[in-house]
Amino acid sequence: MGLDEFLNALPEDDDAPLNYASLPGLSGLTNPEAEEFGQLWLEWSDERVLELVKRLVTLCEEQPDVEFESIYKQGLIHASAQVRLSSLSGLDTSDDRSLIRPFCQMMRGDSSPVVRAAAAESLAFLSSLAQAGKLAPRDEKSISDELFGVLENDDELDAVKLKALEAVSVFGGDRLAPYVEVAWSSGDVSARQSSIYAMGRTSDPKWADRVVEDLEHDLVSVRYEATMAIGELGGEPHLRALEGPLDDEDLTVQLAAISAVERIGGDVAKNMLELRLISSEPRVVELVRQALETMKEEEDLDEVVTQEMARAMFGAGDTLPGIDTEGYEPAEIEGWANLPDPSEVDDFGTGITEEAEELGLDRGDPFDIDLPPEDPWDHEENI
């Protein structure tokens, strides 16, 4: 079922319930179809539109094979703040870089502070993609500048600033540090939580000792954030500090501690988790077992690759692990041993030296291509 079929089955009475069984048929609408749908919303009550968007968000959580991003984008421009808020929640893990501009505009100028904060929060996922190099460099700069702009805006509410702090923290750096420090020492619980969360997202070990201080905080919410953060920042010396959270009176803190110990890893971490297998709490035992299994799999992947394994992975012609010699003449292979030290070669970043060309080692190199521009259609004005 597509848009036309859905609209034909739509009750004329605005108060009549929607046919939720037909909602999967709206999956994957094109932008023009979604715009047509958005125009129809002008005839609906805000409550009906909100109910629809909420149902779509829930359906995505239950059925990963459906997607309604084009519909959520229409919700971003709806007159109802609640509809805009629900639409943001549907897009909070989208990797669509075209969302950077509307998210930033909403964060800066939406009439609802709740929506502005949610827009900043939605930028957190795109920030992570940019920091990981999965977006264009200018995207990282654009997102970072916009988020820092909110932090520097004296007229903005603290709730919006804290979400901006959380989102921009993944970029780390000296520019971020003063804002984290101010939030941590402000005396406000929400600011404390956001600062600890931000410390964890930086992945910078310099914050580890600061986070350890809050593992025994009076408030469960602060202990939870600190426990999660130390898993990102800490090393084996910090495992002892996680003994307390592993036995915390609050179950969510215990579960966070199990995840933190797993992420730090090592033999000591494994022993700590094995001691929790006798817990009377089923969820603790289940998560510990999952953590131990994951750690075992990671250890298995760290085993030394033998020549036999390399041949199986890279081709029957391999004589050395990870080096495919199929298609090369024996003289060429013998010549590899006479190649100069890479540290003494200036190939100007091409990876191809005169010696390599003479030996024929540049042939068939899948990386030896002239790369096109980053994206000829990706103009700055479309950000």
Annotate 332-346 with three-state secondary structure.
HHHHHHHCCCHHHCC
* Confidence at residue 100, expressed as pLDDT on a 0 to 100 scale: 97
- Whole-number Cα distances in Å, 212 to 32, 238, 239, 253, 346: 52, 8, 10, 14, 47
φ/ψ (deg, to 5) at 297: -65, -40
Query: Which tokens in the block code for residue 251?
Result: 């179950």
The span from the CA of 259 to the CA of 280, in Å, is 18
* Confidence at residue 323, expressed as pLDDT on a 0 to 100 scale: 47
Query: Which tokens in the block code for residue 301?
Result: 């992947």
Show pLDDT as tens, one digit a residue, over the chain (383 residues).
578 777 777 766 666 777 778 888 899 999 999 999 999 999 899 999 999 999 999 999 999 899 999 999 999 999 999 999 999 999 999 999 999 999 999 999 999 999 999 999 999 999 999 999 999 999 999 999 999 999 999 999 999 999 999 999 999 999 999 999 999 999 999 999 999 999 999 999 999 999 999 999 999 999 999 999 999 999 999 999 999 999 999 999 999 999 999 999 999 999 999 999 999 999 999 999 999 999 998 887 765 555 555 555 545 444 444 444 555 555 555 555 555 554 454 444 444 455 544 555 544 444 444 444 444 444 444 44
Which amino acid, residue 312?
A: A
pTM score, two decimals? 0.75
State the residue for tokens 């920030």: 127
The span from the CA of 203 to the CA of 187, in Å, is 24
